[in-house]
């Protein structure tokens, strides 16, 4: 699919994801948001809680560091425990250091006061922000995310992550949302492959795909047409339906 939308990548950070202990859902949620708001998501990567691996991934993905994408979104590793090392790794990737951010500290202090808790050293870790970064609002639990370069760092807790996404995405320059149409046929993928290829050749500016499934009534295939030009997507779907006899 031809696109002039900003390109994006997602970096999911955490041993718990790679071990299978935690089911990853943040990237799936953000992918849907990005598609709906005009960002061209091109890669999702998962790395362990390893400083050097996180640094290498950020440098490979952040366009301001010579990486491949206009925007990089990360999930995980900015909590209060010893293995929450994302802030340090992001700072290292961007050639800066980490300090207690005064606004972040104030936000945490206000929340602790409101809940009758002490702002312990562990909680204060969540105010450690790379020098030069700006904060991402956290309406759920106060501890902010942050943005530096093209990297936008958000929490791993799903509720907090979604709140940060809701705050952040409207503040970024997006493009044109993707138009997507699909049709379900009760035929195998190989039976419709030739027709799909022919229509894809006519509409090379669009993305056409086939996705087989099986349910109680047998096998079938979902045919999907995606693109930025709604009229072209409609035309391609009409052509596809005509070829397969719908």
Q: What is the pLDDT of residue 2?
A: 83
* pTM of the entire predicted model: 0.91
Q: What are phi and psi of 95, to 5 degrees?
A: 70, 35
- The superfamily in CATH containing domain 7-171 is MoaB/Mog-like domain (3.40.980.10)
Stated length of the chain: 246
Q: List per-residue pLDDT tens for the chain, 246 residues long.
A: 888 999 999 999 999 999 999 999 999 999 999 999 999 999 999 999 999 999 999 999 999 999 999 999 999 999 999 989 999 999 999 999 999 999 999 999 999 999 999 999 999 999 999 999 999 999 999 999 999 999 999 999 999 999 999 999 999 998 999 999 999 999 999 999 999 999 999 999 999 999 999 999 899 999 999 999 999 999 999 999 999 999
Instruction: Determine contact, residues 226/3, Cβ cutoff 8 Å.
Output: no
pLDDT for residue 245 = 92
Range(s) of the chain covered by CATH 3.30.70.600? 179-244
CATH code of the region 179-244: 3.30.70.600
Token digits of residue 54: 């996180």
> Mean pLDDT of all residues in the chain?
96
What pLDDT, on the 0 to 100 scale, is given for residue 3?
A: 87
Residues of the chain with CATH 3.40.980.10: 7-171
Full DSSP string of the chain: ----SPEEEEEEE-HHHHTTSS---HHHHHHHHHHHHT-EEEEEEEE-S-HHHHHHHHHHHBGGGT-SBSEEEEES--SSSTT--HHHHHHHHTT--EEE-HHHHHHHHHHHHHHT----HHHHGGGEEETT-EEE--TTTS--EEEETTEEEE-SSHHHHHHHHHHHGGGS---PPPEEEEEEESS-HHHHHHHHHHHHHHTTTSEEEEEEEEETTEEEEEEEEEES-HHHHHHHHHHHHHHHT-
Instruction: List, for residues 45-91, the tens digit of each pLDDT value.
Output: 999 999 999 999 999 999 999 999 999 999 999 999 998 999 999 99
Q: What is the pLDDT of residue 6?
A: 97
């Amino acid at each position: 699919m031809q696109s002039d939308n900003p390109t994006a990548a997602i970096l999911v950070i955490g041993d718990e994801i790679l071990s299978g202990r935690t089911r990853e859902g943040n990237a799936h949620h953000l992918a849907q948001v990005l598609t709906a708001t005009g960002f061209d998501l091109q890669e999702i990567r998962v790395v362990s809680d390893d400083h050097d691996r996180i640094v290498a991934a950020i440098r490979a993905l952040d366009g301001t560091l010579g990486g491949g994408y206009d925007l990089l979104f990360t999930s995980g590793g900015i909590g209060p425990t010893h293995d929450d090392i994302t802030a340090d790794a992001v700072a290292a990737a961007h050639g800066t250091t980490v300090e207690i951010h005064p606004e972040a500290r104030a936000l945490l202090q206000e929340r602790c006061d409101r809940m009758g808790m002490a702002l312990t050293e562990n909680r204060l870790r969540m105010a450690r922000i790379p020098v030069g970064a700006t904060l991402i609002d956290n309406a759920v639990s106060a501890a902010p995310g942050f943005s530096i370069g093209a990297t936008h760092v958000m929490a791993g807790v799903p509720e907090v992550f979604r709140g940060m996404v809701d705050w952040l995405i409207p503040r970024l320059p997006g493009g044109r949302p993707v138009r997507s149409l699909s049709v379900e046929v009760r035929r195998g993928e190989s039976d419709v492959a030739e027709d799909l290829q022919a229509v894809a050749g006519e509409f090379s500016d669009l993305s056409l795909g086939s996705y087989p499934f099986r349910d109680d009534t047998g096998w079938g295939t979902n045919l999907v047409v995606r693109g930025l030009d709604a009229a072209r997507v409609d035309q391609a779907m009409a052509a596809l339906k005509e070829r397969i006899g719908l």
